[in-house]
Homo-oligomer: A and B are copies of this chain.
Amino acid sequence: MFTHNKALQYTVRVAEPNPVLASLLLEQFGGPDGELAAAMRYFTQGLAEDDAGRKDMLLDIATEELSHLEIIGSIVAMLNKGAKGQLAEAALEEAELYRSLTAGGNSHTQGILYGGGPALTNSSGVPWTAAYVDSRGDPTCDLRSNIAAESRAKIVYERLIAVTDDPGIKDALGFLMTREIAHQKSFEKALYSIEDNFPPGKLQGVPQFDSLYVNSSTGMGDADGPWNSGEEWERIDDVVAAGPLDGGDGNAKVQLSDAEMTAVKAMASRTSSDPSKDPLTGADLGSLQS
């Protein structure tokens, strides 16, 4: 069960309102790498987890991410506070309000639709979707996904820090960014505490194909590196010449029943594009008339 204390985990000090900046910060409130995505990724994993240590860790970090969601949302609320009041009270001339709402970013929707409250959208106004949550119920996948998610969240905070000179916001974003680093370290420890974590899952790969590099893109700029060259790797450089890798003919086949075959043939005959004639077309009509 969750409890809440109205003190923030980190004090939010905003120098002055700025709805445009608020709309950029939404990236970490309702964006794909934002704090809701993080909280929900770990929370859904934690609920189904039976490993005592991982379950505890996932619920610890999920809960902390909710506290971070509160911090970033509070910054957004402060940045919008002036505009919210002035729009609600129609306290400015229309033209002034109009200008204040069309100054950039996505602030117009934040004002008109959300009334200055923090909205669970990204910086373009796209509503948060659980499609961002990539929990798969296997720890050797999920921990890797968490490591990656923390690294993405870190870089987005880094970019936001680069575009604001409000010292209070910069300070709070620095805290939030750093926590992502700490979380990544925890997830790394948990992953590497699993013996045989690679390949992920239980099934081993087919030996013939698990150290093969298929050089599918050729021409200028073909390059070598430890990712495609060296003892570890076999390599195919002429993909078409190598042909289907199973040695077959590269066709797709299925065994149909007679009844199915009859229907398929009837359809084929009925819908054939006859290659032998050159028909007059709608495009021809469109050009002919001019």
Contacts and interface: CB of A to CB of B under 8 A. Distances in A.
Contacts of A282: 147, 188, 191-192, 198, 281-282, 285
B245 A188 contact: no
A214 B60 contact: yes
Given A52-B221, A227-B57, A188 B95 contact: no
A134 B33 CA distance: 9
A1 B257 CA distance: 29
Nearest to A25: B112
Contacts of A6: 56, 59, 217-222, 250
A5 B134 contact: no
A163 B227 contact: no
A262 B44 CA distance: 24
Contact of A162 (B87, B117, B212, B266): B87
Given A117-B47, A130-B120, A255-B16, A274 B125 contact: no
Interface string A219-234: 1111111111010100
A112 to B, nearest CB: 5
Given A102-B105, A271-B139, A63 B156 contact: no
Contacts of A61: 216
A204 to B, nearest CB: 9
Contact of A290 (B45, B128, B156, B196): B196
A20 to B, nearest CB: 6
Contacts of A275: 53, 193, 223-226
Contacts of A117: 44-45, 47-48, 135-137
